[in-house]
């Protein structure tokens, strides 16, 4: 009885083992996705750049010297501009004098002389000198005109606009005075020649009259005999 039970148990165990072997193996479970690993690049090696040491050199202050050097230049610029404006105004007046009538020029000369007595500036000197050379303003006075211009012309230094105008006018008056003297000399020579010819003519006429008077007296005496 026990053998039957043992045999049946062994048979059952064998059948179970065969069934286990004959059954298909279970499907494998799906593999889990592999984790994504982010590969970071290795940082590039950084070589430190040496920074040169800055050396600050402080120069001595020169502001006062620059101020002293630029101050005369800034002061000279307005003076130069003012002189140029005066020269332009003077040129306008001189051009106006050349076309004005005699009565207007006489008034201009009187006003210019009054301004010269108040201030003997270069512009006032040149105005009076110009008007003294115009016959319509009155009898020309070249000598006084030249005496007014001489201090400006003979001034040393750079040729300023006033000096250029005065030098030009001085040269014109000098040339005109020379021409006038030359004409006067020629006129004097011509007058002397004329006077000499008149003297010779008077001498000849006087001789003819004397000869004519003497001849008539002799002829009358012969007839009386």
DSSP class of 89: H
7-29 CB burial, b ≥16 within 10 A, e <16: eeeeeeeeeeeeeeeeeeeeeee
In a domain, 97, yes or no: yes
In a domain, 150, yes or no: yes
pLDDT of residue 105: 92
In a domain, 115, yes or no: yes
Domain count within the chain = 1
In a domain, 152, yes or no: yes
In a domain, 11, yes or no: no
pLDDT one-digit tens code per residue, 110-133: 999 999 999 999 999 999 999 999
- Between CA 164 and CA 155 the distance in angstroms is 11
Average pLDDT over every residue of 59-79: 51
Residue 211 phi/psi, 5-degree rounding, is -65, -40
% of residues, the chain, pLDDT over 70: 58
pLDDT one-digit tens code per residue, 9-41: 445 544 444 444 444 555 555 555 555 555 555
Q: How confident is the model at residue 4 (pLDDT cuts 50, 70, 90)?
A: very low
- Between CA 193 and CA 181 the distance in angstroms is 18
Domain residue limits at 93? 82-180
- State the average pLDDT for the chain: 73
Using an 8 Å Cβ cutoff, are 112 and 123 in contact?
A: no
């Amino acid at each position: 009885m026990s053998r039957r039970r043992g045999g049946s148990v062994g048979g059952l165990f064998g059948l179970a083992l065969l069934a286990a072997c004959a059954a298909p193996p279970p499907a494998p479970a799906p593999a889990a996705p592999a984790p994504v690993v982010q590969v970071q690049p290795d940082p590039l090696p950084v070589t430190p750049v040496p920074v040169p040491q800055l050396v600050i050199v402080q120069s001595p202050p020169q502001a006062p010297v620059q101020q002293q050097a630029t101050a005369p230049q800034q002061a000279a610029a307005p003076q130069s501009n003012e002189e140029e404006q005066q020269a332009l105004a003077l040129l306008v007046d001189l051009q106006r004098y050349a076309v004005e009538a005699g009565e207007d020029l006489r008034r201009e000369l009187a006003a210019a002389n009054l301004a010269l007595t108040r201030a003997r500036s270069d512009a006032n000197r040149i105005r009076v000198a110009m008007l003294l050379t115009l016959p319509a303003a009155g009898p020309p006075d070249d000598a006084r005109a030249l005496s007014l211009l001489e201090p400006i012309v003979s001034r040393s230094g750079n040729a300023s606009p006033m000096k250029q105008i005065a030098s030009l006018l001085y040269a014109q008056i000098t040339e005109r005075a020379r021409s006038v003297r030359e004409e006067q000399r020629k006129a004097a020579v011509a007058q002397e020649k004329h006077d000499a010819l008149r003297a010779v003519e008077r001498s000849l006429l006087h001789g003819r009259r004397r000869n004519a008077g003497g001849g008539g007296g002799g002829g009358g005496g012969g007839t009386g005999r």
